Structure 1
């Protein structure tokens, strides 16, 4: 799923052009829903991605979500996230969001957590429920963020980012905390280090359940939504 276009069963058509791909529990596409209204207190499982941008000097881009965002407004998080559309590959979707949200090109894209999955609720009760492969890329040039998407941004030293996750996880989005915790101790910061090329990724599969019932990849309970605070942002 991460290296090929998303295909939806015959008979399913986009409700609107800007849609998300709904998923069965085993990760198979089952339909489409408008992106603008899919997030509720009972958000269905759907396909997404997270991308962390790393400069050649090793600094990682954190962005603060715009105050007008429907979910987690004003919360600091990873560089950018998004949802691939039907017939769109992950690489195409990530490139599209990098241009739309940060007005930049990317290179050296690779997957570091291809089976990441999480469920979390924000302070208002709105839920994210995503199969969300995690990628790392190198930016080409400097970001020029869209104010509709990004309120602020900072290039952060990785050691400072690790400390932030440890002492103030509530300051970041729950998915960023879970991802950074899972990536600790790996060579994910190097765009030529550990990770999977897009052409070698195996399909996403159903994973073990967390103690709170929210599924997560690789059977790692430390990556459950319960491992990161929800409803505190």
Structure 2
């Protein structure tokens, strides 16, 4: 589903994760951000290294902060795998393979120092790519490939500062095997209702 940046909309949710409406993405993040649908993705190369990105300075939430490979919001009515492919292309100019949910129930709320809130039901996916990233500067301020065990341990120890959602996700992902190629896929049935039936 094509959207212009000005008209991009996010899906608003009830506490159970069902869709209850939409809002303009440009207007949804403030001191009382409503619960809405998002996703995070961890992209690995054939050696099991993680693509880590720095959020662009122009981002509304957590600018210039290092985080997982990319995040995004499904458009109203958009299949989440299609949304993942769209954001991977828009942010990093990469194609994804072996896309699977790994933390299908993840949600979080975080507050920036200026009071702006993130409040998301945000299932986490893992994927692979063979493409060299060519990031768009409006989305990504930098990137690097890091072996997953090194990134995991640095985040858990506090040696590496990352976005609040990434820190929480890494703590959950740390229970999985050190080789991300052997991470178990989560049950798709555990994804929020708004993902399971995007047309609702």
TM-score, reference length from structure 1: 0.76
Q: Does 1:54 align with 2:44?
A: yes
CA RMSD of aligned residues (A): 1.9
Aligned 8 A contact 1:76 1:171 in 2: yes
Deviations 1:160-212 (A, max 9, x none): 21222123277100100000100112138534641137xx434427xxxxxxx
- The runs of at least 4 consecutive aligned structure 1 residues that moved more than 6 Å come to none
Structure ranking higher on relative contact order (CA contacts 8 Å, 6+ apart)? 2
Aligned residues: 189
What 5-or-longer segments of structure 1 have no aligned partner? 1-15, 206-233
Q: How does 1:78-227 map to 2 (within 5 A)?
A: 78-168=68-158, 171-187=161-177, 189-191=179-181, 193-196=183-186, 200-204=188-192
Q: Secondary structure at the match of 2:27?
A: coil
Task: Map 1:7-86 onto structure 2 (within 5 A).
Answer: 17-86=7-76
Q: Which runs of 5+ in 2 are unaligned?
A: 1-5, 194-200
Specify the SS of the correspondent of 1:36: helix
CA distance in 1, matches of 2:38, 2:115: 20
| 1-structure distance, mates of 2:50, 2:32 | 32
TM-score normalised by the chain length of structure 2: 0.88
Structure 1 residues 71, 31: CA separation in 2 closer, same or farther (over 3 Å shift)? same
